[in-house]
Amino acid sequence: MTKPFEELAELNKFIHEPVRLAIMTTLSGCQSADFLFLQQLLGLTVGNLSSHLSKLEEAGMVQIEKQFVGKKPSTMVSSTPSGREAIKRHWQLLEQLQKSAVEAHMQVPGFKGVSLPFDSQLAHDHT
Amino acid sequence: MIQDSTLQRLRRMEIITKNYHALRGLQGMSSGILLLAIATLELGLHRSMYQLMHAAPIAWCGIFLLPFLLRRSIGHYYNRQFGYVQQIQGKKLNRIIGSLVVAVPLLGAILIDSHSMINLPVSVTGLALAWIFFYQWQTTNEFRHHLLIMAFLLLWVSLMPLTGGLTPLSKLLIPGHGGYELVLGLLGTVGGLCDHLLLIRAFRDTRQAYHDQTI
Instruction: State the pLDDT at residue A7.
Output: 62
Q: Which of A32, A78, A122 sits opposite B15 (nearest CB)?
A: A122
pLDDT > 80? residue A37:
yes
The span from the CA of B129 to the CA of A93, in Å, is 41
What digits encode the pLDDT tens for the residues A39-90? 999 888 899 999 999 999 999 999 999 987 667 788 999 999 999 999 999 8
pLDDT reading at A124 higher than 50: no
* Helix/strand/coil for A93: helix
How confident is the model over B17-52, as pLDDT tens digits? 998 988 999 988 888 888 888 778 777 766 666 666
Residues in CB range of B40: below 8 A, 6 or more apart = B178
**Structural domains in chain A plus CATH codes:** 4-103 (1.10.10.10)
Give the nearest partner residue to A30 out of B2, B86, B209, using CB atoms.
B86
CA of B182 vs chain A CAs: smallest distance (Å): 34
* Sheet architecture: strand order including A72-79: A62-69, A72-79, A32-34, B85-86
Residue of B6, B85, B203 lying closest to A33 (CB–CB): B85
The string of DSSP codes covering A38-67 is: HHHHHT--HHHHHHHHHHHHHTTSEEEEEE
pTM given for the model: 0.77
Q: Residue B86 is inside which H or E element, if any?
A: strand B85-86
pLDDT at site A117: 46
Chain B contact for A61, CB < 8 A? no
In B69-128, the residues whose Cβ lies within 8 Å of chain A are 79, 81-89
ipTM for the complex?
0.77
